[in-house]
Amino acid sequence: MAVDQFDLFCAVREREWPYKPVILAPMAGVTDLPFRRVVRHFGTHMVFSEMVASQAVIRTVKRTGQMMEMNNDQCTAVQLVGADPKIMAYAAALVCNMGVRHININFGCPVRKVVNTDAGSAIMKDERRAASIMEAVVRAVNVPVSVKMRLGWDDAHMNAKAIAKIAEGSGIAMITVHGRTRQQMFAGKANWAAIAEIKGAVSIPVVVNGDITDVTTARTALVESGADGIMIGRGALGSPWILSEIQDAINQPNMPNAQTTPHQGITLCSTTATMRIQTAKTHADYMFEFYEPRTAIHISRRVVGYYLKWLPNIAHCRRMLSSLNSRDQINELLDTLLARIGVQ
């Protein structure tokens, strides 16, 4: 179902939105252009870039440029992180000048190096600063601005509802909530039910995030949260087709969960061994097209490992991957695995 991501912002406001989008979450070191290309090839219509530091945008750091590379894909949102409203606003304006059509503000990153700069989820401890950042970014650009946050800093300070109300008043177009506090990091289980209170407090779209890995968890998360859409992060590692499978299942409930749909050279079907390996090859090819060879090798070893995690002898495969030093060697390994299982 081809739906322009920006229809979401208008239709939900008018209470006319029957379609629940499934969105690729921003993941540092993961959602680069090659990964987003693979996910988009399976039919996902809204994807997020890696988290980009606002100060790095202003300094035009080369690596930051790579992280924001769109390849003329206007369905990619760029996520900015920072603690200074003026710098965040300036960075957002610069990014929009590159043709980006959606800015996302990070109020959710829990990692220490981000939190120690008073950015990411640390901003949830300071609602005034959160308001200043959102207002400044919204004023600086003429595209939709969304926010991704957690339930709060810890169990004693779960103020996502308050920040959501501030966001709505600031002109924010959409809110994504990861169902954990910062102190939880990624431990325990995401609390989807807690997001329902946030959804009930605002009229703008609310998207549920955290621990959604398949059709079953997606449906449960939607029911418990009452959210307008789903955002998937770690569940897409090694399974980039999962977003489209969930999209079809929740928006076309009579459609079988397993299907075969050719799309730009990749076959979408139930997660067969053949599909995993073929997709791993395509993903690796994209990385060697995008990065210089040394970087491509380094990243490919990790990414291909995600696709092969289903193998019974995964430890042996990972050792083999760690010794590979060229594109040809990676393709040779994957071709060998394909030959062993046969084309299904």
pLDDT in tens, 119-153: 999 999 999 999 999 999 999 999 999 999 999 99
The CA distance from 199 to 220, in Å, is 16
pLDDT at 5 over 80: no
Lowest-pLDDT range of 48-62, 76-90, 124-138, 152-166: 48-62
Q: pLDDT band at residue 18, thresholds of 50, 70 and 90?
A: low
Which amino acid is residue 338, in one-letter code?
L
pLDDT (0 to 100) of residue 71: 52
Would you say 115 and 148 are in contact if contact means Cβ atoms under 8 Å apart? no
Provide the whole-model pTM: 0.86
Query: pLDDT category, 266, cuts 50, 70, 90?
Result: very low
Does the pLDDT of residue 204 top 50, yes or no? Answer: yes
What are the catalytic residues?
109
pLDDT at 125: 96
Burial class of residue 61, CB neighbours in 10 A (0-12, 13-18, 19+)? middle
Q: Would you say residue 270 has pLDDT above 60? A: no
Structure-block tokens of residue 10: 């208008």
pLDDT band per the 50, 70, 90 thresholds, residue 273: confident
Contact between 228 and 12 under an 8 Å Cβ cutoff? The reply is yes
